[in-house]
Structure formats: structure tokens, C-alpha cells
Structure 1
Amino acid sequence: MLQRGQYDRAIDKASEKLMKKPDNGKELAVLKEAYELANTFDQERIDFLELEGLEESWVEIYLLYEEMNIRQNKVRRLPSQVRSQFTFVNYDQKIVDSKAAAADVSYRRGEEFLAAGDKLSARQAYNEFEQADLIYPGYRDVVQKMAEAEIAGRNNALFLIENNSGMVVPEFFDSEIKKVTLKELNTLWLNIDTYENESIDYDHFVILNITDISFSPETIERRTFTESREIQDGMRYQLDDNGNVMKDSTGTDIRVPNMITVSAEITETVQLKSAVVGGSLNVYDLRTDQLVKTDNIGVEAVFRHRFGEYSGDRRALSEELQAVMRGREVPFPANEEMMMDAAELLKDRSKAIVARNRRVLES
């Protein structure tokens, strides 16, 4: 590791061995050389950056001082006979000064980006303020500045419903669809409302445009069929080819399951009704007044109820058919109920489409 220039790895490995065996001269030599070379390279890099005088270099300078301090603390934890071979430096002031300078550079760059007034610059400002806060937690009012940049850089979208189907829908239909949990799709740079907030200037409208609402007739379908299955009906004696009862090795008569085939004739009735709602989900960019994305959307809510009767052996029926045979005819749901079922499906479908278009809404 030392020969390959992996000085910090060499320091870690040598320190591990010296912690167990402080008098290991070979490992001590490796530690001393790796420690000196690592610090020399870091200090030369710091000297160059300070000579170059670029503001953005303060972050790297701070990180280099931190690395040198961490390296030094590793050696300080070793047994005294090893520690005594090293001279230690107090980096505290260097770290504090470079840390403040690095945070200040990011803070001022953030202010410049934020002053530009556009969303992309505000997002860059947020990154700079976040960097300043990571380097120097609580630096000045950086947390407040991050909040300002987040608000300034965020896109806001409003989810709306338009009924262009020519059919009057009940009030609950709109309110039920607007219960869709689009807030779960929000990101740092995107907020989606389902009800208008008058204090927000929206960047996008997401419009669920309903163009078709239709209901199928209430239909009843019947079919008659036969079910058969093989079942066990008690036990019987096993016979040989001559018709005699077979015996086992103890002389006991051999008995086997008696399998028979049973059948039942079934008349199944199915009640059917459906509601279809179709249209499109359209994304409008209000800054350019352009339709930027459109997706077709359609759902079908289906009412399907099965019941019936049978004649013959009940044992021929599967568990599913037995449950169907216990059913009875029920009233068909009203159109309003079918609309409620369709609204539930529309919520899920709308959410899935909005999730796919999240990048469009963020840009």
C-alpha cells in the first residue's frame, strides 16, 4: 500500500498492527513514512490552492485540513511508545478559518443565484446554501435562505377536473376524485394541489378532461352445465383377479378407498352492469400557455353478481360453486353508485399518469 501511494490505507493497516504489537519496528517504519508522505502531499496541495487564491478552493482546503486532523488523531490513539515517535500539530484554527471561508463562499454564491430571480437559479442557490450548511451547520441564516430558495425554485401544479361528456354528474363525483393523494408525488421541486391555493401562482394545470360517460344496460345471463368429480365414498375390499379378497402379510383383509363419480346439473345466473368513463389527462404549462403533455385515460367499473341453483349431488360442486349456489338475486346498482366506483378507478389511474409526468411538471 505504501509503495502504491495508498498512504491512508497503509496508515490504517500499520496502526491496526501496532495497536496489538507496539514494538513492531517494521510496521512503525511504514506508519512513519506513510504519515509523513500523506501530510506532505496534503500540505503542498493546500499551499498551492492558497497561492492560487480562488474562492471556490476554500472547500477543498477545509476538507484537506480535516483529513490531516483525522489522520493525526488515528496516531494519537496508538500506545505511548508509538505516539512518542511523532510530532503533532494543532489544526483547530486552520480548520475553523477554512471552514468559515468555505461556508461563506457557498453562502455568497447562493445569494447571487437567488438574486437572479428564476427557478433554475433558485435551485442552484439551494444547493449552495445546503453546501454551506453541511460545512458549517447553523452558519448565519443559511437555514432560512435554504427555505427561501426552496420556495422560489419549486414548481406548483393544480389538478382540475373538466366534464365535457355532455352528461351531468353528481357533485360527489368531482369531490371523490379530488381525494386522490397526489401530495405523495411531491418532491423538493414540485408541489401538486388538488384544491386551489389563492396565494400560489401555478406553473402547470393538470386537467382531467372527461369526454365520455356511458352505462351498459342491466343484463342477466344464464347458462346450464354439468359438473362431475371423483370422490371417496367409504372403503371397499381389494379383490384379486379371481374376485377373492386380498390379504396383507399379517392375514388381514386389505381395504382401499371406494372412489365414485358424482354429478350435478347447475344453472348459473350472472347479473352484469358497467360504467365507462373516458377522456384524457392534459398538462398545460401556464408560463407559455402550451399543452405540453396529454395521455388518454379510461376506466370501466363493472358490477358482476353470480348466483344459481343445482340438481344432483352437491358433492360434485367446488367450493366456489357452492358459494355461488348460496347466493340470491340482488338489485342492480344505480348509475350514481357505478359513478362512485368509476371515480375510485379514476383516482388510481390519474395518480399513475401524474407520477409518470413528474419530470415534466418539475421542469
Structure 2
Amino acid sequence: MKTISRLRYFLYFSILIVASCTTGKRALQKGNYDASVSKAVDRLKSSPKNAEAMKVLPEAYGFALNDHLRKIDEAKLSSDVLRWESVLYHYQALNQLADEINGCPACLTLVPNPQKFISEAADSRSRAAEARYVLGQKQLNEGNRASAKNAYFNFEKAQQFDPGIKDIKAKMDEAYWAAVVKVVVQPVVVNSTYYKLSSQYFQQQVDDFMANYQRNRFVIFYSEQQASNQRIVPDQVLSLNFDDFVVGQTYVKERVEKLKKDSVVISRGRTNDPVYGTVKATLSIFEKKITSSGLLALTITDWQTRKVLRQQRLAGTYVWQDSWASYKGDERALTKQQLAMTNRKEMLPPPPANLFIEFTKPIYSQLVDEINYFYNKY
């Protein structure tokens, strides 16, 4: 009985806690006035006569209204150039609360006239846009790339506040092109006429990556042809050079195993009874490895100063493998796997051009990581 009583007490206590949470009482006690209003409104929509929510709503709304108005007054007195964004935030929060209450008939009997600040919000939005525009113009006038980048973000924010600002799009374009880093990517160099055709696969991957690069909007990659056609003066030049590579180094290894298996039926007696004995064989296992590897030299240079900004050597290796076997003696000494291996024939390796392509694949992955890492800071 005691256990049942305790369970009932626990369930009752849990229900009280849940009820207080859903009515907004706990949020009110913690000073989360907006959340308290929203919870009370939600509760009264589903249960218009809920006594706890009816008590919480007018009290929480009064606190929320006074709190936002106080913070608005404080923001207006602040010296922060972006203070109107804070003002706008608080007006929007008050308008949101008013909309929530107006959408709940039971709530309107408790808070008949929730205040809305439509013109005040519109005015603060306009002032916030103007502040961002002025700040962006000031940064753009500083004449350096970092400031131009900040100017672009401020113009962008100004446009979000007020899309109708005169010449805002032109200002964004001006700031963007003052901030962007223009990088000309030179064709991949391969110091071998024989492998120039194979390098085209790698070149195409590089071209596709650069053309679709979106990691940093303030970095644009151009091929030499594009830069020439568009009369682009680059900020940086990126060069890629396969200056050291080996294709088709072949290693063949032979391993000889002496095999013996006992208790194998080797014949039948006169009465057809099995005669057991030992069978032997010599197994020769051949393993061939063809290794191709190379180094790609990555160099990023400042166009004006000719200063090397980044220099890395990226390594890649590809190993092609094959194995087969042969035996002498009694095949019954071999396992199924060993016998299957003896039935395999030596395979022809891929042509050198394919081996070249394969060892460039891990190099390409490293190149992508290197480019992303270096240009993230821009």
C-alpha cells in the first residue's frame, strides 16, 4: 500500500511540474518573460479556463513589456553605431507577443489591448539600415581588402533591413571586387612528353574544382585563358608541377612452401579397403607489385611582389598487385585455396598511362584540402 501511495504522490507531483511548465509559470519565475507569455498563450488556446495560465499571462506580459521598453531606452542612449538593430529587435519581440495574444480569444479577455509598435519598428529598421550603410562606406574608403570585405557585409546587412536603399547594389559590387582575391591557375606541368596525355585527367579535375569553388565567396580562380580574355590582373598565381615521379617500378617475390598431408587415401587393398599414406607437394607462390608514385609541387605567389606565399610538395602512391601459384607433386597436399591460386594465371598490369592517373588521385585529394585550408583565411 505504501508503494502505491508513493507512486500516486510521484505522479501527482509530476503532473504539477508539467502543468507549471506548460502554463509558463516556471519561465516566469526564471525571468524568461517572453517564453512565459508564449507558453501561457499556448496553454489557453488548448484550455481556455486553465487557472494557472490565466494568472500567469497578464503578469508575464506586463513584465515583458516593461523589460523590452527599458532595454529600448537603454539602447537609444548607447554610443554603439549599431544600436538601432537592438532597438528593432525589442520592438519586433513586442509585436510578436502582441500577435500571439491577438490570436488567442481567451487571452484577449486577460490582456485586452496588447501594444504593437509598427511605426517604431519601421523607423528603427530604417535607421539600422542607414547605420550599416554609413559604416560600410567608411570601411570601403579605408582602401584595403580586409576593410572592403567588412564593408560588403555591412552593405549586405543594410540591404536586408531596407532593400530600397539607393545604389546599395552598386555599393555591394564595389566592395566585393575590392575585397575579392583573384587567383590565376597555371596549367599543370609534367616534365615528360610521354605522360602529358595522362596528365589531362588530373588537369580536368583541377579545372572542375576551381570552376566550382564556393568555399570562400571572396576568392575567384581563373585559368590563364580566362584571365587573358577578361583582362584580369591577378592578385596571386597558383602553379602545379609534377617535378618528380616514377611509374611502373616492378617487384616480383617468390615464396616456396613444402606441403605434406597425412592420412590421405592413396590406394585400395584387395578387399577394397582404403590404404592411407602421406602426400607431398612443393608450392611456389608468386607476388607481383607495381608501384607508381610522384610529387606535385604547389606554389602560390603574390603577383605584384613575386613573394612565395605557400609552397608544398604533395605525394601520391599507387600499388598494383597480383598473385598466382604453381606446384609440383600431389595436388591432394594442397588446400582448396592453394589449389585455386594455382589455377590463376599471371595478369597483365595496367598500361603506364593508367598507373600515372592512379597515383595522382590521392594527390588531388590533398590538393583540394590544401587549397581550402589556405584560402579560408581570405
Compute the TM-score of the two structures, normalised by the length of structure 1.
Answer: 0.74
Contact 1:268/1:307 (CA < 8 Å) preserved in 2? yes
The Cα offsets for residues 123-174 of structure 1, whole Å up to 9 and x where unpaired, read as: 1122212322433456555456445533432223333366586x54533244
Aligned-partner residue type, residue 192 of structure 1: F
The answer as to 2:155 corresponding to 1:129 is yes
Match of 1:118 among 144, 151, 166: 144
Contact 1:212-1:279 within 8 A present in 2 as well:
yes
Kindly state the Cα deviation for residue 61 of structure 1 after the two structures are TM-superposed: 1.5
Out of 303, 310, 313, the position equivalent to 2:332 is: 313
Residue 177 (structure 1) aligns with: 202
Report the 3-state secondary structure (helix = DSSP H, G, I; strand = E; otherwise coil) of the residue aligned with 2:84.
Answer: helix
Is contact 1:274–1:302 with CA below 8 Å preserved after alignment? yes
Aligned to 2:117, which of 82, 91, 111? 91
Determine if the alignment matches structure 1 residue 304 to structure 2 residue 321: yes
Q: Name the residue aligned to 2:24.
A: none
Alignment of 1:329-348 (within 5 A): 329-330=347-348, 335-348=352-365
Distance 1:153-1:309 versus aligned 2 partners, 3 A rule: same
Question: How far apart are residue 31 of structure 1 and its match?
Answer: 1.9
Query: Does the alignment pair 1:328 with 2:346?
Result: yes
Match of 1:286 in 2: 303
Q: Partner residue of 1:238?
A: none
Distance 1:35 1:267 in 2: 88
SS of aligned partner of 2:31 = coil
Partner of residue 191, structure 1: 220
SS of match in other structure, 1:178: helix
Structure 1 residues 229 and 35, CA gap change in structure 2 (3 angstroms): farther
Q: Structure 2 counterpart of 1:294, which letter?
A: Q
Rounded Cα–Cα distance in structure 1 between residues aligned with 2:236 and 2:205: 18
Residue 292 (structure 2) pairs with residue 275 (structure 1) = yes
Q: Are the counterparts in 1 of residues 199 and 357 from structure 2 also a CA contact under 8 Å?
A: no
**How many residues are matched?**
332
Write the mapping of 1:209-224 to structure 2, written as runs, cut at 5 A: 209-215=241-247, 218=250, 220-224=252-256
Aligned to 1:247: none
Equivalent position SS for 2:28: coil
What letter matches 1:79 in structure 2?
A: P
* Contact map agreement 2:38 2:97 (CA 8 A) in 1: no
- Normalising by structure 2, we get a TM-score of 0.71
Instruction: Give the CA deviation at 1:8.
Output: 1.5
Residue 295 of structure 1 is matched in structure 2 by 312
Provide the rounded CA distance (Å) in 1 between the counterparts of 2:80 and 2:287. Answer: 80
**% identity of equivalent residues:** 19
**Equivalents in 1 of 2:260, 2:372: separation in Å?**
49
CA distance in 2, matches of 1:336, 1:22: 78
Say if 1:324 and 1:178 are closer, same or farther in 2 by CA, change over 3 A.
farther
Local SS of the residue matching 2:292: strand
Which residue in 1 is equivalent to 2:22? none
Q: 2 CA distance for matches of 1:81 and 1:217?
A: 82
The equivalent residue for 1:37 is 63
Alpha-carbon offset, residue 287 of structure 1: 4.4
- Distance verdict in 2 for CA 1:353–1:327, change over 3 Å: farther
Alignment partner of 2:115: what SS? Answer: coil
* Counterpart residue identity of residue 374, structure 2: N
Q: List aligned pairs for 1:159-170, cutoff 5 A.
A: 159-160=185-186, 163=189, 167-170=192-195
When residues 318 and 156 of structure 1 are mapped into structure 2, their CA distance, relative to the original with a 3 A threshold, is farther
Among 126, 131, 146, the alignment partner of 1:100 is 126
Please name the residue that 1:154 is paired with. Answer: 180
Separation of aligned partners in 2, 1:356 and 1:73? 47
Contact 2:297 2:312 in 1 (8 A): yes
Which sections of structure 2, spanning at least 5 residues, go unmatched? Answer: 1-26, 266-276
Residue 35 to residue 111, structure 1, CA distance change in 2 (3 Å): same
1:57 aligns with 2:83: yes
Match of 1:73 in 2: 99
CA-CA distance at 1:5 after TM superposition? 2.6
Contiguous gaps of at least 5 residues in structure 1: 234-259
Q: Distance in 2 between matches of 1:58 and 1:229?
A: 91
Letter of the 1:214 counterpart:
V
Question: What amino acid sits opposite 2:203 in the alignment?
Answer: K
The verdict on how the C-alpha distance between 1:323 and 1:97 changes in structure 2, with shifts beyond 3 A counting, is farther
